[in-house]
Structure 1
Amino acid sequence: MNQRQQSILQLVAEKKKISVNELADITGVSVVTVRHDLNFLEQGKFLKRVHGFAVAINSEDTETRLMTNYSQKQALAEYAASLVHDGETVFIESGSTNALLARLLGKKRNMTLITVSNYIAHLLRDSECEVILLGGIYQKRSESMVGPLTRQNLQQVHFSKLFIGVDGYHPETGFTGRDMMRTDIVNAALQKCSENIVLTDSTKFGVIHPHPIGPAHFIHRVITDQQLEPNYQASLSEHQINMALV
């Protein structure tokens, strides 16, 4: 995705619906070029095209979050994808960086991806890999499955790696989440004895949310960016958590 396409996606995410002509005026390129860009973005499931307009895909503003530090999140996702081998079964929870990871892993035929995110499952509908979407209560605002049925479904599957997003980390509280029901599912998944990996950008560090994720020794690896401050690096090291600063 080039810089102009990133700008177009940001405009679509902000306005929800914008015409091709307006995008051409703003970006300073021809309508034909904009249409080529929109074709590329639609094929990547970043947006939809409707009768001369580009329309944001409504999924708890996931597209807006994708565009926040997009290049950085893409780099994190690419590093995470490099850890996954053909033939593995991987659980991908939810979140914008995890969605980018799912796009990359979805290109592998010999792969099984398990998720509770309907958004991620939708992204993978044309992929080569096997996709397992766990059932449960459908939390509409996040497009995720939660609740006791989802916990039961978790007991019926096994996976070698678990990728989760977090909403916060502080040395005093450890990893935390904003949503109680989604955090409950994350904690259930952490107990499955896989390799548990936090995939998040460094802006989440120093932030505290109500619901604990962990305990910290359940987390084996953190993949984040090089802006992570030394005190948080030291805190993760104290818990013997491997770090990859991308």
Structure 2
Amino acid sequence: MLPQSRRELILRTLRADGPSEVRSLADKLGVSQATIRRDLEHLDADGKLTRVYGGAMTLDPGEVNSDINGDINGDDIDDPFADVAAERAEDKDTVARAAADMVQDGETVLLDIGTTMHRLAHHLHGKRITVITSNLAVFDELRDDADIELVLLGGMVRRRYHSLVGFLTEDNLRQVHAGRLFLGTSGVRGDGAVMDTTLVEVPLKRAMIKAADQVVLVADGGKFPGVGVARVCGPGDLDVVVTTASADPATRLALQEAGVDVITA
């Protein structure tokens, strides 16, 4: 990643999460702490942030990043969630249905943020299960289903993305446990690494992985191979991948060689 791009991501993260430690920023961006320190020194010299002990904060802690949290101000004029939901809608529904078929009565499942998870929730009707999620679209889908015990994780509302995020959500995840996590992604690299384009979601996804016995990645073939600015996890953290036949064969092979059960819906 180019230094300028990395520094812009640092500023976005600070605006979204508030003051952050060097270690936390290095973990989120997948670089060394020394690299982060140099970037912070550069940004501080440019007057774009303030260094604090062990980390940094934006000059205006109340500033809200428009990409991540602008929806909180109520001035959103579009619906990114609906736009993403319309992309490869048929393929998303195919993998969502196959993933839902894995769930049996009595299970406790954890559903990630995203449009594919919304489709998966639609196919869970009729099952007697417990669903844990911070996905507001999933909540809306299942809220009136009396057979499903619904647990909504707390956190900061991202209205345009129909989700709850932040340290409160992560803290809630440390209090729960699921037999199975259905995980979404922005893309899967050729080596099987799971990526995401929204930094604020990365620590949340990692916390979800820790809260579940089994991790099932649900992603249509358009995300194989894919890209993202931050690495969520490696193939070793996955148990199952549910995708479509259009997924890149080399990427599927890399996942299988890592011991992941790849299901082609």
| TM-score normalized by the length of structure 2 | 0.66
Letter of the structure 2 residue corresponding to residue 225 of structure 1: T
Aligned CA distance change for structure 1 residues 100 and 178 (closer, same or farther; 3 Å): same
Where relative contact order (Cα < 8 A, 6+ residues apart) is larger, the structure is: 2
Q: 1:139-158 alignment to 2 at 5 Å?
A: 139-158=158-177
CA contact (8 A) 1:134 1:145 kept: yes
Tell me, yes or no, if structure 1 residue 124 matches structure 2 residue 142: yes
Cα deviation per residue 1:84-125 (whole Å; 9 max; x = unaligned)? 0001011011222211110111332x2111101112111212
How many angstroms apart in 2 are the aligned matches of 1:60 and 1:185?
22
Instruction: Give 3-state SS (helix, strand or coil) of 1:176's partner.
Output: strand
Cα distance, 1:241 vs structure 2: 0.9
Match of 1:103 among 100, 122, 133: 122
Tell me, yes or no, if structure 1 residue 62 matches structure 2 residue 72: no
Q: 1:217-232 alignment to 2 at 5 Å?
A: 217-232=236-251
- How high is the sequence identity, in percent, across the aligned residues? 27
| TM-score normalized by the length of structure 1 | 0.71
Unpaired stretches in structure 1, ≥5 consecutive residues: 1-57
How many angstroms apart in 1 are the aligned matches of 2:256 and 2:177?
28
How many angstroms apart in 2 are the aligned matches of 1:84 and 1:241?
18
Cα distance, 1:170 vs structure 2: 1.1
Unpaired stretches in structure 2, ≥5 consecutive residues: 1-76
CA contact (8 A) 2:108 2:178 kept: yes
Q: 1:37-48 alignment to 2 at 5 Å?
A: none
CA contact (8 A) 1:173 1:212 kept: no
Cα distance, 1:239 vs structure 2: 1.4
Cα distance, 1:168 vs structure 2: 1.1
How many residues were matched structurally? 188
How many angstroms apart in 2 are the aligned matches of 1:59 and 1:190?
31
Q: Report the counterpart of residue 163 of structure 1 in structure 2.
A: 182
How many angstroms apart in 1 are the aligned matches of 2:113 and 2:254?
25
Aligned CA distance change for structure 1 residues 173 and 239 (closer, same or farther; 3 Å): closer
Instruction: Give 3-state SS (helix, strand or coil) of 2:161's partner.
Output: coil
How many angstroms apart in 1 are the aligned matches of 2:223 and 2:233?
16
**What do you get for the CA RMSD once the two structures are aligned?**
1.8
CA contact (8 A) 1:197 1:223 kept: yes
